[in-house]
Amino acid sequence: MFSRILSGDIPGEIVHETDRLFVIRDIAPKAPVHLLVIPKTEQYANVVELAAEDPALLAEMVAVAGDLAGGDFRLIFNTGEGAGQTVFHVHAHVLAGGLSEGSLGD
């Protein structure tokens, strides 16, 4: 699905892009700022695979999340169906803006 957004086949607001990743707004935001940071490659289903195979790309995802969050933020990677992962193309949820202690942002 994310690759189809990147190619323009599915609508999505790309707010940032590098050679290796892109960022879109979540269609069902759980916080005032809710972005998805997504590698352009579909090679990795989850963050565990990404960390093992391409730690530099993972570091780039974290750096971009921090740059775009505009202050304090929460970074979430859902890994596996039992953890709520529904799209098996690794992506990070960036939640920011008015989150409170103990909040999961949802």
Distance from C-alpha of 50 to C-alpha of 29, rounded to nearest angstrom: 25
Catalytic option among 34, 89, 91, 93:
91
Distance from C-alpha of 92 to C-alpha of 74, rounded to nearest angstrom: 10
Nearest 5°: CA angle at 82, between 44 and 10? Answer: 50
Whether 16 sits among the annotated catalytic residues: the reply is no
Query: So which residues are the catalytic ones?
Result: 91
